[in-house]
Chain A
Amino acid sequence: MTQNKRLWAAIFLAIPLLFYIVIVIIPLFSSFYFSLTDWNGFNAAYHFIGLDNFKKIISDPNFSNATKNTILWMAAAILVPSVGGLVIALVLNEGIKGSSVYKSLFYLPICLSLAVVGQVWIWIYQPDWGLINTVLRAAHLDNLTLAWLANPNTALAAVILAWSWQQVGLAMVIFLAGLTSIPTELTEASQIDGASYWQSLRHVVVPLLSPATVVVIALAVINSLKSFDIVYIMTQGGPFHKSDTLAMFMYLQSFKSYYMGYGSAIAVVLFAIALVIISFYFRQVSSLEHLYD
């Protein structure tokens, strides 16, 4: 009986594991290997250069710049879409009529590709007829108009804002799921006890939402680490690397400059960061299980 079960388990797992190991795990180790070489992407030949790529990483100002931008991105990702999503979820959870229509409109951007999102936001930031500058001019604030994506001071923030626009819906979905699992008796009881809306929000609702909050924050962090598509479309990391992220920097080094050995080393660093996040997340998983019911 057990024998039989084991055999079926092996048969069922064979193909999924084969795909996962050949396409994800072996290439992962392969990246470690290439990070120790100077492969340029074309030549069959390459040399082992030990840890030189990692030494280069430490002294490369563009790498520390991309790291700084990725950290800024994470911080913004935790703050902007999460707080936005929470506020909208709280309002929609008040049980007002027609809230499902509003809900759908906030969800909608999640089904769009980041290629489309980036394209649309380029038109919002467009210097001549973009929405922001059009509004500023109409308000006679011409001196505030900028080439938002070409300006080194605003490029990164502009890209993050566009990305956040899409992510708000995602955070809202998760917070709404968390809110529906809070029994209304609890909030009502606290209000009968004389708690104001803000007090019951702070002492009852927010603590009970913590599993959803963990998911939202984990998602924000991991999606920040993956931030590539929208940067590629809106700025390609420019101007002057001002909107480079680690994922973008890795791509540029590997597929534009053809430093594939160096690119692999950046990939290894990305993996190390992902690993820290994974271990943190898995430790939280037990407290999240009821979200999956």
Chain B
Amino acid sequence: MTDQTLIQSGSIPSQVVHPHKRRRQILMYTFLTILVIIYSLPLIGVVLSSLKTTGDIAKNGLWTKPNPVNLANFSEAWKEGNGHTYMVNSFLVTIPATILSITLGVLAGYVFSKLPFPGSEALFLFIIAGMFFPPQIVLIPLFRFFNAVKLYDTLWPMIIVHIAFGIPICTLIMRNFFSTIPNAIRESAVIDGANELQILTRVMLPVSLPALAVLATLQFTWIWNDFLWPIIFTQSDRWRTIMVGLITLKGQYSVAYGVQGALALIASIPTLLIFIFFQRYFIRGLTLGAVKG
């Protein structure tokens, strides 16, 4: 299974069109189209709400054409709804945590693939078991710990926790990727006098871009979308991330569905962009590291 087969599957043109095959195709198209429309309704709903005034929703309901089309919801969500602060906070957490979790995964993955030692296989399993842990099992001790070190209600706990919880998946994917690189490449670099850090950064990493892209899209999406850690570790509006901001906004503007819809769309823009531009890496990552929730 390569990238190519993943992308191309399903787009192979049908060669011979028998009448019954044609009927079947029409059936499939109809089935798929109806399904896609129903499936997309929730997304259509959020777009509709973001374009409607509160009065319009009250009068005509949510599921009608916006009348008039109202873009003020976006500026209200951004300014009065404090969306700009939340977005900045989310970036401040997501970017460093994504980069550092991948860096640590690269280091560990390299060891498990190219520098094995007695017991390294067991240590590897010990680390990747972390992918299965529900975060609830460490919630209370971490809450206590970050309170004790006076980092409660800052962005630091989220960054640190996301790095740690990202290590299992990053280690798994990097180890599996490095294992596809022949050992002979490493050995010839050793003979040339390179040390392991040089081999990793100059020989291995330049050919690892697909794996790094997979991890970057996955980690960014998961960390950006996280909701649990910020509600545990932050309290003040100043340090809320966008996903928590979205829920708080709901409390403040209990009937301003348009503003809520606009902020939900703003909150989804970064991951939607990743999805649109790096879809193949994202999807590949999901199949590779499917065990992470």
Contacts and interface: CB of A to CB of B under 8 A. Distances in A.
B147 to A, nearest CB: 9
B170 to A, nearest CB: 9
Interface stretch (A51-59, A170-178, A185-193, A201-209): A170-178
B205 interface: no
Contact of B134 (A5, A176, A260, A274): A274
- Please classify how large the interface on chain B is, using the bins under 10, 10 to 19, 20 to 34, 35 or more: 35 or more
Contacts of A250: 136, 139
A49 B98 CA distance: 41
Contacts of A64: none
A24 B141 contact: no
- The A contact surface, by secondary structure, is helix
A111 B271 contact: yes
A115 B25 contact: no
A123 B200 CA distance: 50
B288 A292 contact: yes
Contact of A102 (B14, B32, B293): B32
A30 B141 contact: yes
B16 interface: no
Interface in B161-182: 161, 163-165, 167-168, 171, 176, 180
Contacts of B195: 8
A132 B36 CA distance: 17
- The B contact surface, by secondary structure, is helix
Interface string A66-110: 000000000000000000000010011111110110111111111
B10 A93 contact: yes
B138 A24 contact: yes
B184 interface: no
A115 B115 CA distance: 41
Interface in A218-239: 218-219, 222-223, 225-226, 228-229, 232-233
A19 B49 contact: no
B42 A180 contact: no
- Please classify how large the interface on chain A is, using the bins under 10, 10 to 19, 20 to 34, 35 or more: 35 or more
Interface string B121-149: 00101010110111111111111110000
A103 B10 contact: yes
B39 A176 contact: no
Contacts of B133: 24, 28, 271, 274
A17 B125 CA distance: 13
Contacts of A277: 132
A243 interface: no
A149 interface: no
A100 B164 contact: no
Interface in B101-137: 104-105, 107-108, 110-111, 115, 117, 120, 123, 125, 127, 129-130, 132-137
12 contacts: A13-B108, A16-B105, A19-B167, A91-B32, A95-B14, A96-B29, A111-B275, A124-B41, A232-B231, A251-B136, A254-B140, A274-B134
10 nearest interchain CB pairs? A23-B164, A113-B225, A30-B141, A27-B141, A27-B138, A129-B61, A8-B196, A16-B104, A111-B275, A223-B293
